Amino acid sequence: MSDVMTNEHTVESLKPTFEVKRWLESAKLDTEPEIEQDSRVRVLAQFCNHQGRHPKDMIEAVLRGGEEDGQYTIAIKARRELDEAINTFGDTLGLSLHQNITAGNVVRSFFIHNGVQMQGRPSL
């Protein structure tokens, strides 16, 4: 478990973390204008505050192991709960359906690029 426990996640607190850097780099969002990057990190921060958890904790709840050889297993139930939490979070934003779904998928993008295999929910 991470030792960082706060409900006040912000762009400033999350952006320097390894997980967020890895996300932005892997998704090639790090070449986007700062305002674009920050808008995504802000959504992630909102989700973390909604859950009252640090993003690293949420990754660790799904990816188990890794201490010895860097290889993890996925906790299926935890991943399903995470996916459902993302849907719930999106639905509470009070935006348009497309914006709600997109926000949820921004959060999914963070987890995907940190090794949590999950698929997006399209706005159709």
Q: Do 19 and 59 touch, CB atoms closer than 8 A?
A: yes
Q: Is 79 in the site for another protein (CB under 8 A)?
A: yes
Q: Is 6 in the site for another protein (CB under 8 A)?
A: no
Whole-number minimum distance, CB 17 to another protein, in Å? Answer: 19
The residue among 117, 113, 83 whose CA lies nearest residue 23 is 113
Stretch that binds another protein, among 1-9, 13-21, 62-70, 97-105 (CB under 8 A): 97-105
Mask 16-35, x = binds another protein (CB under 8 A)? -----------xxx------
Counting DSSP H helices and E strands in the chain, the numbers are 6, 2
Q: Residue 19 and residue 100: Cα distance in Å, rounded? A: 23
The answer to the question of residue 46 lying near another protein (CB under 8 A) is no
Q: Which stretch binds another protein (CB under 8 A): 3-11, 47-55, 62-70, 113-121?
A: 113-121
Torsion of CA 17, 51, 86, 113, to 10 degrees: 20
Closest alpha carbon to 62 in 71, 72, 75: 75
Q: Which residues bind another protein (CB under 8 A)?
A: 27-29, 74, 76, 79, 98-99, 101-102, 105-106, 108-109, 112, 117-124
